[in-house]
Amino acid sequence: MSWTDERIATLKKLWEGGSTASQIAEELGGVSRNAVIGKAHRLGLKSRPSPVKANAKKKAAVKKKAAPKPAPIRKPKAIMTPKTAANSPPRPPSNAVEQAARAAGANIPSQPIPNKSAEIPKIVSIGPGGFQRQGPGDQQPPIPPAPPRRLVPAKPSPEIADKTSLLDLSDKVCRWPMGHPGEPDFHFCGADVNPGFPYCVEHCGRAFQAQLPRGARRPPPPLPFGGPRVR
């Protein structure tokens, strides 16, 4: 079978549609899975989740078949025969020079990723209004021209304007977190605390299982998150 325009179009469609090479081959008929993959690559379309390529962890000195195969058996395409060619004996690479050259020069990493020496958890300081203060070592010279970035409003966004920030916490306000840390509008409840508790009455109801009154003495409630801080 030859690759007619129509067949190529089908290949493209299915390939980009997410079908596996096997499925495509079956759909097209008359071609093997390998043929499909080979054609796909030749067409330039590629890069679909490959089990092999997904990881570029360990460098594998890929040695290909320089192995002298006495009987190059080309089998009929329709037949899949289990192949067992374990070539353990060291084979003399007939193209050793080529391989050496390839190993030496041809394989240059296309991307020398500028590694930022790992990502160190940075301690940031939040200024009034929720701005993130810049530390002495935080300067980033390489942004001289005005970045197309949108400027932060002079006053805190309405979203969090009235919200209780970390710095607003005290023994008198409810520390119940609203939202999740890292979210833009993460804040704390901030309502008046239920005396003796880190939360307001409402959130005490959520933090502490209502269980209870047993004797005169109020048993200590189940401790949430390590328990209320007593100061």
Partner DNA sequence: CCCTGATTCGC
Partner DNA sequence: GCGAATCAGG
User: Could you list the residues that contact DNA (CB under 7 A)?
Assistant: 1-3, 20-23, 31-35, 37-42, 46-55, 58, 60, 62, 64-67, 69, 72-75, 77, 81-83, 85, 87, 95, 99
CB of 30 to DNA, least distance (A): 8
CB of 95 to DNA, least distance (A): 6
- Looking at the Cβ atoms of 38 and 205, the one nearer to DNA is 38
CB 222 within 8 A of CB 212: no
- Looking at the Cβ atoms of 42 and 206, the one nearer to DNA is 42
d(C-alpha 173, C-alpha 150), whole Å: 34
- CB-count burial class (<10 Å; 0-12, 13-18, 19+) for 7: middle
Q: Measuring CA to CA, which residue among 159, 162, 227 is closest to residue 199?
A: 227
CB of 105 to DNA, least distance (A): 13
- Looking at the Cβ atoms of 77 and 206, the one nearer to DNA is 77
Q: How far is CA 4 from CA 7, 10, 28, in A?
A: 5, 10, 11
- Looking at the Cβ atoms of 81 and 117, the one nearer to DNA is 81
CB of 63 to DNA, least distance (A): 7
